[in-house]
Amino acid sequence: MMKGLKKWRLFSLLAVLTVFLAGCGQEELSTLLPAGQVGKDQFKLLMLASGIMLFVILVVVAIYVVALIRFRRSKLGEDFIPEQVEGSHKLELVWTIIPIILIIILAVPTVYYTYKLGDVKAMEEVTDDGKAKHLVVDVTAKLYWWEFEYPDLGIVTAQELVVPTKEKIYFNLKAADVKHSFWIPAIGGKMDTNVENLNKFYLTFDKESEGLKDGVFYGKCAELCGPSHSLMDFKVKTLPRDEFNAWAKNMKATEDGNSVANAAGEEVFKQSCIGCHATSGAGEGGSQGPNLASFGDRNRVAGFLKHNEEDLKKWIKNPQKVKPGNTMPSFENQLSEQELDDLTEYLLGLSVEQ
Amino acid sequence: MSSVAQKRGFGAALWDWMTTVDHKKIGILYLIGGGFFFVVGGIEAMIIRLQLLKPNNDLVSAGLFNDLITMHGTTMIFLAAMPILFGFMNYIMPLQIGARDVAFPFINSLGFWMFFLGGVFLNVSWFFGQVPDAGWTSYASLSLASTGHGIDFYAIGLQIAGGGTLMGGINFLVTIINMRAPGMTYMRMPLFTWTTFVASAMILFAFPPLTVGLFFLTFDRMFDANFFDHQMGGNTIIWEHIFWIFGHPEVYILILPAFGIFSEIFSIFSRKRLFGYPAMVFATVLIGFLGFMVWAHHMFTVGLGPTANAIFAVATMAIAVPTGVKIFNWLLTIWGGSISVTTPMLYALGFIPSFVMGGVTGVMQGAAPLDYQLHDSYFIVAHFHYVIVGGVVLAILAGVHLYWPKMFGTMLSETLGKITFVFFFVGFHCTFLIQHWLGFWGMPRRVWTYMDGQGWNTANLISSIGALLMAIGVIVMVINIIMTTVKNVRVGNDPWGDGRTLEWAIPSPPPFYNFTQTPLVRGLDTVWIEKQEGNATGLTFAEPVTDIHMPHGSIIPFFMSVGLFIAGFGAMFHQETSWGLPLLIFGLAWTFVAMAMRSLKDDLGYHVTKEEIQRDITNASKGGQN
């Protein structure tokens, strides 16, 4: 019985090792393949902590295995009465002091990184002509979608965060209804979007998202926020600074009208959708529904569905079925098939990246 | 005890159990109640794992999934783990200190019925179709936004059950402080008694914040208060603080008695005194103290600022030191001992590596910047299941096998016990080990489903298979219990052969007055000492045989709890119905009347006469029990 157990343990150790070596996850959303300085710092801490902890586990398991082998009653005989040892101050000091040392080794970098990652003073810095020195994005989490406003650029988008690479991006985080949490696993740790206060932190994006599987990093909501919590995904597109500038300029330009792929669809949009959704990327956040100025460029419909006509129609027809608890009404009985066709063509044509 | 009850018929037996104030019967009631809810929570867990078996699964709806995770967590913590541990504390602790009962038998009964009816109240929500759905933490913005009566069931159900727990905790404290047998100094108390003591002290300080928080939530939802409504000047972060000021000590309230059970097991089945007993006691107390200093590590991502985060990070890591001391002391207890791998010992041996793994991942999450990644991901799910299943549940299963003969006078099958262990242990690691990586790979917790193509499919499949193995283990244990009860092979005072503490020197099950004469305690592991010195009974008495004063049973605790149960429904429905308010008043009045009856009625108890006890002693020695 115990022999089987021991073998099983060895096997599990090997299995753990295999999983550890093979299991780094997927580039676009794994914390083990960090693509930003914050994530890398956290990864370093993970490695340090794992190392210390594996050491502890090994020591414990070693003593444990030796004790189990040496001191079995089947070996010592039924009548053997062990010496009733009271304890050992020396030994107890050893296993008090060594853990304290290990903890200090971990605590020092922990405190260092806590302050490093919590430093958002630079957010307020301005250049000589009064412009903000760093890019600041205001993130508002709403029932199952994300709004990204760039106050200094005067543009707003939703569901797909677009940022330049290789510089610190500062975020103001807030929730509009219930608490959510903003997390881009491959870039860095999460921060909650509270309902009553603004949270601030920064991330850096070192890698362009273009080469990734879907061309984007994956973002998640990490705080239970209702039925569709698990569907509250967003995506992150990272561009070189000049491409980002071009994107921002195009977004701003949608002020004067966006590309129209289907004029009839635009009419339908104006009648049915415009109350909640804007197609101009210029302006401020706070709208009822996600801004659609760059809808055609996005990677997903509603954050998680495939980005094609079929899924878009499915979504418009009955959003509650797809994402229960969201605030968009159903259009199943309000739009004819023809109108739906026009509308989807129009929406998928909304683009700022030609 | 049951043979006497059965002769009196089912109704009389039921009445006997409902009115009992005997700590041993109440202990068994706690085990039955907790066991029932453990199965309910287990079924919920199985449905959760079935839903997550494959991507885009739609076995359950998104709303129902949130109901399930909320009820699984709440049930397992408040209605399964705590009550089952309370069952052991109730049954074993008074025996270990040589007492005839707890200090307040009436309150003990009240505590049980409040827990049980509170638990029933919470679970009645399933029949209303309005189930708590904001997670077991019930964070305020979501719990206020939640429609229906789900969260009301949560707030009121836990309020009633929590009151019972608080009473139980105070009762244990008073018992341990006042009712130890002569010679049982604090530093001679068995470690299970010590952990009961510290856990009870923690209950005393941790549950009032929960009570306050739940009242705030109740007032917000049912009586238009605005404690947590930020649009009206409230603050949701306050709920998080209140909840975790309770919630973190709560996990130590669970794990300390588990440590106690394992300490007993290591000592008994290694035939060796617990290594470094004073250090173990000190570590227990220190863990209890530090447990109150670290609640904000559940809130690193809330935005408390780097200074708060750094302080709480370091404080959290500090807990690893006393916990480490305990682990090494256990290892040194078996080192140089004579290890007999019985079922309870098997659980204890399985506990060490499992709990160490859960402990070290806790330290990892204590590193605040790292926690920004791990928080609310599947890593944390893996972590707390490693400490709670790998610590508390293994202790409960070990305790069931260890104390079953003491409680029911018959041994659970060792073979089936070991089969249970293998299924449960392998299933447990299979379910939760891989979840650490799911967290690393970016899977948030509490997700109803996940999209294909994120690399999570295989890991989730493995995890679900593991859950199935755990379920098989529990089913084998239930079969074991049924078979053992049917066979009913009687055992003597010390069925394991190496009992070291007072409970192993009296009959199994003990007579209702526990000890014929109050024992004299001559050291740590007093029974072991007596036996080594040639006293085969293991007991030296501190007094001659005299009359024993015992309390009468009472139905009043049950009635008091029923009144609160009724009042709960009144509070819940008072806004939408005309009968709600009268029902609330009626329920509370009912409870007050029951309380008045208790106060006004003189109940001086009764005496078990010297002759009866003398007769029991003679019978026992004739029965040939050792």
Per-domain residue ranges of chain A:
27-74+89-117, 132-354
User: Does pLDDT of B134 surpass 60?
Assistant: yes
Contact at 8 Å (CB) between B223 and B282? no
∠B486-B490-B491 over CA atoms, to 5°?
135
Does the beta carbon of A87 lie under 8 angstroms from any beta carbon of chain B?
Answer: yes
**DSSP state letters, A151-171:** TTTTEEEESEEEEESSSEEEE
pLDDT at B5: 44
| Alpha carbon of residue B182 to chain centroid | 29
Residue B581 CA to residue B589 CA, distance in Å, equals 12
Q: Pick from B358, B349, B267: which is nearest to B319 by CA?
A: B358
Please give the CATH topology (third level) of the domain spanning A27-74+89-117: Helix Hairpins (1.10.287)
Q: Which of A70, A195, A236 to mutate to test the interface with B (most CBs of B within 10 A)?
A: A195
For chain A positions 202-241, those within 8 Å of chain B (CB to CB) are 213, 218, 220-231, 233
What is the set of domains in chain B, with CATH numbers?
2-342+496-554+603-622 (1.20.210.10)
* A225 → closest Cβ in B142, B272, B279: B142
Q: Which residues of A touch B341 (CB under 8 A)?
A: 1-2, 72
Decide the pairing of beta strands B606-608 and B548-550: antiparallel
Query: What mean pLDDT is predicted for residues B112-119?
Result: 97
Report the gap between the CA of B296 and the closest CA in chain A (Å): 14
| CA distances to A303, B84, B280, B362 from B284, in Å | 48, 20, 6, 18
**Chain A residue with Cα closest to B355:** A57
Determine, for residues B335 and A106 on separate chains, whether the beta-carbon distance falls below 8 Å.
no
Q: Collapsing DSSP states into helix, strand and coil, what is residue B608?
A: strand
* B276 → closest Cβ in A57, A76, A92: A92
Report the gap between the CA of A45 and the closest CA in chain B (Å): 6
Which residue shows structure tokens 């302080």?
B311
Query: What mean pLDDT is predicted for residues B115-124?
Result: 97
Residue B552 CA to residue B607 CA, distance in Å, equals 10
Residue B450 CA to residue B443 CA, distance in Å, equals 8
* A60 → closest Cβ in B272, B356, B455: B356
Residue B594 CA to residue B592 CA, distance in Å, equals 5
Q: Which of B338, B346, B433, B524 to mutate to test the interface with A (most CBs of A within 10 A)?
A: B338
Report the gap between the CA of A34 and the closest CA in chain B (Å): 11
Those residues with Cβ within 8 angstroms of residue A138's Cβ, 6 or more apart along the chain or in another chain: A148, A149, A150, A151, A171, A172, A174, A285
Determine, for residues A82 and B437 on separate chains, whether the beta-carbon distance falls below 8 Å.
no
pLDDT, greater one: B458 or A24: B458
Contact at 8 Å (CB) between B100 and B196? no
Report the gap between the CA of B518 and the closest CA in chain A (Å): 26
Query: What mean pLDDT is predicted for residues B412-424?
Result: 97
For chain A positions 141-170, those within 8 Å of chain B (CB to CB) are none
Burial class (CB in 10 A: 0-12, 13-18, 19+), A75: exposed
Does the beta carbon of A199 lie under 8 angstroms from any beta carbon of chain B?
Answer: yes
* B145 → closest Cβ in A178, A190, A197: A178
| Alpha carbon of residue B246 to chain centroid | 15
Tell whether omega for the bond before B509 is within 30 degrees of 0, i.e. cis: yes
pLDDT at B9: 84
Decide the pairing of beta strands A300-301 and A199-204: unpaired
User: For residue range B468-509, what is the model confidence (pLDDT) as tens digits?
Assistant: 999 999 999 999 999 999 999 999 999 999 999 999 999 999
Confidence of residue B626 (pLDDT cuts 50, 70, 90): very low
Determine, for residues B273 and A84 on separate chains, whether the beta-carbon distance falls below 8 Å.
yes
User: For residue range A143-196, what is the model confidence (pLDDT) as tens digits?
Assistant: 999 999 999 999 999 999 999 999 999 999 999 999 999 999 999 999 999 999
Which residue shows structure tokens 């109640």?
B33
Per-residue tokens: B559: 């009635």
User: For residue range B300-351, what is the model confidence (pLDDT) as tens digits?
Assistant: 999 999 999 999 999 999 999 999 999 999 999 999 999 999 999 999 999 9
Residue B412 CA to residue B403 CA, distance in Å, equals 10
Q: Which of B139, B372, B456, B527 to mutate to test the interface with A (most CBs of A within 10 A)?
A: B372
User: For residue range B140-153, what is the model confidence (pLDDT) as tens digits?
Assistant: 999 999 999 999 99
Residue B405 CA to residue B615 CA, distance in Å, equals 24
Determine, for residues B332 and A88 on separate chains, whether the beta-carbon distance falls below 8 Å.
yes
**Torsion B388-B58-B123-A177 (CA) sign:** positive
Contact at 8 Å (CB) between B51 and B63? no
| CA distances to A4, A11, A23, B433 from A18, in Å | 21, 11, 8, 13
**Chain A residue with Cα closest to B338:** A73
Residue B302 CA to residue B316 CA, distance in Å, equals 17
Contact at 8 Å (CB) between A182 and A171? yes
Confidence of residue B623 (pLDDT cuts 50, 70, 90): low
For B52-104, where are the alpha helices, taking DSSP H only? 62-74, 82-96
Q: Which residues of A touch B327 (CB under 8 A)?
A: 60
Determine, for residues A230 and B369 on separate chains, whether the beta-carbon distance falls below 8 Å.
no
Residue B117 CA to residue B160 CA, distance in Å, equals 8
Determine, for residues A81 and B334 on separate chains, whether the beta-carbon distance falls below 8 Å.
no
pLDDT at B173: 97
pTM: 0.94
Contact at 8 Å (CB) between B79 and B39? no
Determine, for residues B276 and A30 on separate chains, whether the beta-carbon distance falls below 8 Å.
no
**Chain B residue with Cα closest to A29:** B442
* B145 → closest Cβ in A25, A39, A177: A177
Determine, for residues B369 and A42 on separate chains, whether the beta-carbon distance falls below 8 Å.
yes
Determine, for residues A226 and B145 on separate chains, whether the beta-carbon distance falls below 8 Å.
yes
pLDDT at B467: 96
Q: Which residues of A touch B376 (CB under 8 A)?
A: 181, 183, 190, 222-223
The values of phi and psi at residue A248, to 5°, are -65, -40
pLDDT at B625: 46
Does the beta carbon of A18 lie under 8 angstroms from any beta carbon of chain B?
Answer: no
Residue B196 CA to residue B266 CA, distance in Å, equals 18
Q: Pick from B262, B160, B71, B339: which is nearest to A82 by CA?
A: B339
Does the beta carbon of A33 lie under 8 angstroms from any beta carbon of chain B?
Answer: no
Query: What mean pLDDT is predicted for residues B412-417?
Result: 96
Determine, for residues A220 and B454 on separate chains, whether the beta-carbon distance falls below 8 Å.
no
User: Does pLDDT of B179 surpass 80?
Assistant: yes
DSSP 8-class letter at B27? H
Does the beta carbon of A40 lie under 8 angstroms from any beta carbon of chain B?
Answer: no
User: For residue range A16-56, what is the model confidence (pLDDT) as tens digits?
Assistant: 655 555 578 899 999 999 999 999 999 999 999 999 999 99
Phi-psi category of residue A77: left, alpha or beta, with phi > 0 → left and psi -120 to 50 → alpha: left
C-alpha dihedral over B9, B13, B15, B17, to 10 degrees? 180
Q: How many CB atoms lie within 10 A of CB B267?
A: 27
Phi-psi category of residue A25: left, alpha or beta, with phi > 0 → left and psi -120 to 50 → alpha: left
Interchain CB contacts (distance < 8 Å): A and B: 305
Per-residue tokens: B339: 């290890």
Determine, for residues A222 and B321 on separate chains, whether the beta-carbon distance falls below 8 Å.
no
Does the beta carbon of A177 lie under 8 angstroms from any beta carbon of chain B?
Answer: yes
Query: What mean pLDDT is predicted for residues A301-324?
Result: 93
Contact at 8 Å (CB) between A84 and B272? yes
Radius of gyration of chain A (CA): 27
Q: H-helix or E-strand containing B542? A: none
Burial B58-68 (b: 16+ CB within 10 A, else e): eebebbbbbbb
Which residues make beta-bridge pairs with A191?
A182
pLDDT at A18: 59
- Angle, helices B394-408 vs B457-487, to 10°: value is 10
Q: Which residues of A touch B301 (CB under 8 A)?
A: 181, 189-192, 222
DSSP 8-class letter at B601? S
Query: What mean pLDDT is predicted for residues B17-23?
Result: 95
Query: What mean pLDDT is predicted for residues A50-63?
Result: 94
Q: Which residues of A touch B338 (CB under 8 A)?
A: 71-73, 76, 80-82
DSSP 8-class letter at A259? -
Which residues make beta-bridge pairs with A72?
B339
Contact at 8 Å (CB) between B142 and A226? yes
For chain A positions 259-278, those within 8 Å of chain B (CB to CB) are none
DSSP 8-class letter at A288? S
Q: Which residues of B touch A183 (CB under 8 A)?
A: 376, 442, 444
Determine, for residues B141 and A195 on separate chains, whether the beta-carbon distance falls below 8 Å.
yes
| CA distances to B393, B512, B537 from B495, in Å | 23, 19, 13
Per-residue tokens: B321: 């030191």
Which CATH architecture fits A132-354?
Sandwich (2.60)
pLDDT at A317: 93
User: For residue range B25-73, what is the model confidence (pLDDT) as tens digits?
Assistant: 999 999 999 999 999 999 999 999 999 999 999 999 999 999 999 999 9
pLDDT at B2: 44
∠B372-B375-B376 over CA atoms, to 5°?
140
* B437 → closest Cβ in A23, A42, A118: A23
User: Does pLDDT of A13 surpass 70?
Assistant: no
Residue B509 CA to residue B492 CA, distance in Å, equals 9
**Torsion B156-B162-B164-B167 (CA) sign:** negative
Q: How many CB atoms lie within 10 A of CB A249?
A: 12
- Name the percent of chain B lying above pLDDT 90: 94
Determine, for residues A110 and B334 on separate chains, whether the beta-carbon distance falls below 8 Å.
no
User: Does pLDDT of A131 surpass 90?
Assistant: no
Does the beta carbon of A11 lie under 8 angstroms from any beta carbon of chain B?
Answer: no
Per-residue tokens: B474: 């529990």
Contact at 8 Å (CB) between B168 and B83? no
- Angle, helices B62-74 vs B105-128, to 10°: value is 170
∠B341-B346-B352 over CA atoms, to 5°?
120
Does the beta carbon of A79 lie under 8 angstroms from any beta carbon of chain B?
Answer: no
Burial class (CB in 10 A: 0-12, 13-18, 19+), B224: exposed
ipTM: 0.92
